[in-house]
Structure 1
Amino acid sequence: MSHLGDEKDVLLKRIRRISGQVQAIERALESDAPCGKTLHLVAAARGALSGLLEKIIEEHAKFHVADPDLSNEERQQGVRELLTAIRQYSK
């Protein structure tokens, strides 16, 4: 994903926050935290992952599907990759 440029730092910050959220879930489970708190932590982590996925899908679409300089085959490959990711996410 070398085409991300400045976005790379933003995405890495998101990943670090998500990592912290997952660690908070682990701590909650280990300490027998109330179910409501644990559910809230899991929902927040899932939302953060969804946001990350959305951003990566957007960047993929821009650089591997919509770029007018791409060949037809490159665009088709980009669409296949995008659809595969969306299918996997929706399972």
Structure 2
Amino acid sequence: MSHLHQDKKILNRVKRLKGQIQSVEQHLEAGNSSCIDVLQQVAAIKGAINGLMNELTEQHLRHHVLGDETVVNEVELDEFLKLLKRYS
């Protein structure tokens, strides 16, 4: 996936995840955060990870599986990607 280093969207997602994880660490170290607050942060991280996985999967499909020369049925591809997102 050498093309990914050019994708600011993916890099920004990773940086956001890094910040969210650091926030959980800080709350745990502080020792005064409620369990609910930490669980909400972890749930947000889980959603962000799923979003990153979906984005990487789509990039892989478009660049490595379908390729530039393939005529892509965008409607069918969108339906397939929605199906993947539903079960991830």
Normalising by structure 2, report the TM-score. Answer: 0.69
Q: Which residue of 1 aligns with 2:15?
A: 16
- Over residues 38-67 of structure 1, what are the superposed CA-to-partner deviations in whole Å (9 max), with x where a residue is unaligned? 000001011111101100000101111122
Read off the aligned partner of 1:3 and give its amino acid letter: H
Higher relative contact order (CA 8 A, sep 6+): 2
Read off the aligned partner of 2:40 and give its amino acid letter: H
Task: Give, in whole Å, the separation in 1 of the partners of 2:21 and 2:69.
Answer: 40
Identity across the alignment (%): 39
* Structure 1: gaps of 5 or more residues: 71-89
Mean Cα deviation higher: 25-34 or 36-45: 25-34
Task: Give, in whole Å, the separation in 2 of the partners of 1:4 and 1:31.
Answer: 36
Offset of 1:31 from its aligned partner? 1.5
Q: Secondary structure at the match of 2:48?
A: helix
Offset of 1:69 from its aligned partner? 4.3
Normalising by structure 1, report the TM-score. Answer: 0.67
* Structure 2: gaps of 5 or more residues: 71-87
- Over residues 13-49 of structure 1, what are the superposed CA-to-partner deviations in whole Å (9 max), with x where a residue is unaligned? 1111100000011011111210000000001011111
Q: Which residue of 1 aligns with 2:44?
A: 44
Q: Which residue of 2 aligns with 1:31?
A: 30
Task: Give, in whole Å, the separation in 2 of the partners of 1:5 and 1:37.
Answer: 33
Read off the aligned partner of 1:67 and give its amino acid letter: G
